[in-house]
Amino acid sequence: AQSVTQLGSHVSVSEGALVLLRCNYSSSVPPYLFWYVQYPNQGLQLLLKYTTGATLVKGINGFEAEFKKSETSFHLTKPSAHMSDAAEYFCAASWTSGSRLTFGEGTQLTVNP
């Protein structure tokens, strides 16, 4: 079955440090890939998406992600963490011609001062 896995349910970094959130998908067919962020008591907001073309995708708030087909991965990075980045991050994939999203389990990012 096609699935999305996020390694690490909790990630803690210091302010100014590199943020790396991991996402892998399981399928021989590459999907469309998304990263969403959820701030406390809010809905999900799209950070970035990969559909076709350039494999390095830049998103909002300084985040970027690279699609690596050989590794079936779509890891999210940010060079320097800010306190305002503390939130839950979800990786999601779509394999269908419709809009059905398959989500990973989520990663809670904590940024320490």
Partner 1 sequence: NAGVTQTPKFQVLKTGQSMTLQCAQDMNHEYMSWYRQDPGMGLRLIHYSVGAGITDQGEVPNGYNVSRSTTEDFPLRLLSAAPSQTSVYFCASSPLAGPSYEQYFGPGTRLTVT
Closest CA to 107 of 25, 38, 57, 33: 38
Residue appearing with tokens 């021989």: 28
User: Which residues, 48 to 107, sit near partner 1 by CB under 8 A?
Assistant: 49, 51, 90, 92, 94-101, 103-106
From candidates 2, 22, 24, 44, binder to partner 1 by CB under 8 A: 44
| CA dist 86 → 14, 22, 108 (Å) | 11, 16, 8
Query: According to CB under 8 A, which one of 31, 57, 74, 111 is a site residue for partner 1?
Result: 31
Query: Using CA atoms, how far apart are residues 20 and 10, in angstroms rounded to an integer?
Result: 12
Among 42, 56, 62, 76, binds partner 1 (CB under 8 A): 42
Closest CA to 94 of 60, 53, 50, 58: 50
- From the CB of 12, what's the least distance to partner 1, in Å? 18
Where along the sequence are the contacts to partner 1 (CB under 8 A)?
A: 4, 6, 9, 31-32, 36, 41-46, 49, 51, 90, 92, 94-101, 103-106
